[in-house]
Every structure is written in structure tokens, then in C-alpha cells.
Amino acid sequence: MTEAPETTAPQRYPFSEPDRLNLDPRYARLRRDEPLTRIRLPYGEPVWLATRHADVRTVLGDARFSRAASVGRDEPRNTPRQQEGGILSMDPPEHTRLRRLVAKAFTARRVEELRPRTRQVAHELVDGMLAAGPPADLVEHLATPLPIRVICDLLGVPVADQDRFHTWSEAIVSTTSLSPERAQEYIDSLFAYMGELIARRREQPTDDLLGAMVRARDADDRLAEDEVVRLAAGLLAAGHETTVTQIPNFVYALLTHPDEWARLRARPDLVPGAVEELTRFVPLGATSAFARYALEDVELGGVLVRAGEPVVVSISSANRDETVFPEADRLDLTRQVNPHLGFGHGVHHCIGAQLARMELQVVLETLVARTPDLRLAVPESELIWKSGLLVRGLVAMPVSW
């Protein structure tokens, strides 16, 4: 056990600009030699970074690490503006009270009921893509519209408004892609839009999730109206931004590992395991955020994290931990034991995890069936990747078949 190395200046983080889906080799060194290290994000106080699977799981899952304790602190972050409240800044039981409003709609059982409709939408969208090419842009024709339609159906948000709320949603994942003023404007617009949809349901009750949220809020006056609006806006924005991004990432990973794509083509029954393995293998995050604050002294990764100190985690690094995943840098769709942390861990575990899994499974099974000869329509080096976001993703993905 060692004290915080006061003499060493914290390293700037993220260590490097994201390079496609490659993970910075520094993570492997840190997991081996210095599993907890001091870093500094572009804004906020210095922070510990955890890189090993076990430590990441502890920080995310152990009640001695708190998100609520971040309130009022100069939280490590990627944008000048501070997080202001919201469900990601709460601990149980307040967090649970809010999350329970919507948790029922995202159970595996309820998500399964959405699968037939999602399959139908996927086939319609692939029909459109096939009619438009080859080549055609997979981002435009499939990856973007599919998650938007699914979350709109679920929440009860008009698909016709997608151009507006899709634009605003970038603010949720933006680091430098939007100016701080523009990001705030988008977030305000998203909240105002959701506030209107919710207010309308007071006059005309509906059977969708927004309607259910309104009824639950009115039955429990401990829930603040603005928290419900923020939660709904978060579900809409986070509920599609991430899946919109992961679909092309998954397809990119498969097409640049042609042996694995061939395996999937030969054995579509591998799709569920493939989605787990791709969730592990694809380092979606381009940086880290949402530090957990230690409520008491905790020994972690060979150092003593003092009460009041913040810790961020690298999920991408944890998912490549060789002590948990043999040949961790290899994409292996038949990997049997796969306790990846791609959807996080603990009370803030992605509420949309089952929905995302289902959508990703449907996309892969549909592409394998409809476009078995799918390939990039441009050299890999010509693909353009997004920048200035919390996540890695492709701007466009021209494909042929």
C-alpha cells in the first residue's frame, strides 16, 4: 500500500485522441504496473483512474463510492459546464425512487415484447438501404433510424420530431463538438420539448412510457416534476445516441475481422454471444466521466483512496483485462465466459441494456441474413470518425453487398 504520489503530476486524460476502435497501449501498462493512477481531465479536480476489471467493478458497485457526493465538488469532467443533478448524480434510495419509475419498461421480459416489431423495422430499413445502393450509408439507412424508432415507440415520442431531438441529443455526448453555449441551448431545448410532451399527457393520458411516468409522478409527490422531465429527456437522448453509435462500431469491428464475420454468417445462432463479445471488445468510450467519491477510506488497487477523493474508471480497459478475459485483445465471438462491463455495473448499470442488446442482436441477424456479402465500400483508411464526443463512432459508413 502506498500513499498518493504527491510528487508526480497527474497525467492529462484522456491519454490520446481516440484512434478508431484501438485502445491506447498505456491502459495495458497501467493494469499491470499501476492499476490506480492519478489523472487530470480537461476540467475539474485531479482524480484517480481505475483500469483493472476488479477495481472498476468495485468503484461502480460498492456503496462506499458515491455519485451524490460529487454535488458541490469541482467534478472531473470533459466540458467546462458542471453536471447539474439528474439521476446520475444520485445514490440509493433517492436514485432508486426515480429509476423505478421507468425500470419496469426495460426488463428483459418487456423488451422481448418489442423484438418482433424491431425485426420488422430492421427489415424495412434494410429494404430501403438495398434500394438506395450499393453503395449506401449504413449510418443513415439503418444505424440511426432503428434505435430512434424503437425508443420513440417505447416512450411515445413522435418519430416526426426526430430531426429536432436527434440534433439536441448530441449535447448529451458532446465534449468539444459543440460550444458550451450551443450545448446548453440544445439541452434546454430537449428539456423544454420533453416538458411539453409530459404536460400534454396530464390533459390526455396515454399508454406509453411517458404516460406511465406522469401517472407514477402524480402518485408519489416525493418525485420532483423537473426530475421526471430530465429523466425522460435522458432516456430519449441516451436511449438512442449510444445504440446509433454502437451499430456501426459493431459492423466495423466485424468487417475488419472478416474471419469473425464469416463465422457469424455460417452460424447466426452465435448472434447473442457476438453482441456480448462486441460490447466487450468495442471501446465505446473516448474518455471517462462521472467520478465516484469515496465516502470512507478504501483500499483499492494497492493504494489507499481517502474519504472524499474521486475515482473514475476505464470500462474499456476493464474489458481488456487479461486476468479475466484470456486473449483479451482478440475478438472471439464464441467466448464463453464474458463478464464484460460494457453496460457499467452497480446501481447506475445502463437501464437500456436489455433494449440495446435486443436491438443489436436484431441488426446483426438481419444483416447476416439480408447482406451476407456486406463489405466497406471505401478503403478502411477513408472512413471518417467523429471527434469531440464522449463516445467513438463513425460519421458515415459506406457499404456494399
Nearer CB in complex with other proteins: 27/106: 106
Nearer CB in complex with other proteins: 253/324: 324
Stretch that binds other proteins, among 42-50, 159-167, 295-303, 351-359 (CB under 8 A): 351-359
Q: What residues does 38 pair with on adjacent strands? A: 48
Query: 84 to 143, contacts with other proteins by CB under 8 A?
Result: 92-93, 96, 99-100, 103-104, 106-109
Please select the residue that binds other proteins; options are 31, 38, 52, 57, rule is CB under 8 A: 57
Does residue 72 belong to the site contacting other proteins (CB under 8 A)?
Answer: no
Does residue 61 belong to the site contacting other proteins (CB under 8 A)?
Answer: yes
Nearer CB in complex with other proteins: 175/242: 242
Please select the residue that binds other proteins; options are 42, 133, 134, 346, rule is CB under 8 A: 346
Stretch that binds other proteins, among 53-61, 134-142, 182-190, 306-314 (CB under 8 A): 53-61
Nearer CB in complex with other proteins: 114/187: 114
Q: What is the nearest approach in angstroms of other proteins to the Cβ of residue 104?
A: 7
Does residue 323 belong to the site contacting other proteins (CB under 8 A)?
Answer: no
CB-neighbour burial class of residue 388 (10 A; exposed 0-12, middle 13-18, buried 19+): middle
Please select the residue that binds other proteins; options are 303, 345, 376, 393, rule is CB under 8 A: 345
Q: What is the nearest approach in angstroms of other proteins to the Cβ of residue 315?
A: 13
Nearer CB in complex with other proteins: 109/222: 109
Q: What is the nearest approach in angstroms of other proteins to the Cβ of residue 216?
A: 12
- Looking only at the bridges linking them, the beta strands covering 310-313 and 47-50 are parallel
Query: 352 to 381, contacts with other proteins by CB under 8 A?
Result: 353-354
Nearer CB in complex with other proteins: 61/372: 61
Q: What is the nearest approach in angstroms of other proteins to the Cβ of residue 96?
A: 4
**Binding residues for other proteins, how many (CB under 8 A)?**
25
Q: What is the nearest approach in angstroms of other proteins to the Cβ of residue 92?
A: 5
Please select the residue that binds other proteins; options are 34, 62, 140, 185, rule is CB under 8 A: 62
Overall residue count recorded for the chain in this entry: 401
Nearer CB in complex with other proteins: 32/349: 349
CA triple 69-74-79, angle to 5 deg = 115
Does residue 349 belong to the site contacting other proteins (CB under 8 A)?
Answer: yes
By CB under 8 A, name the binding residues for other proteins: 57, 60-63, 92-93, 96, 99-100, 103-104, 106-109, 339, 343, 345-347, 349, 351, 353-354
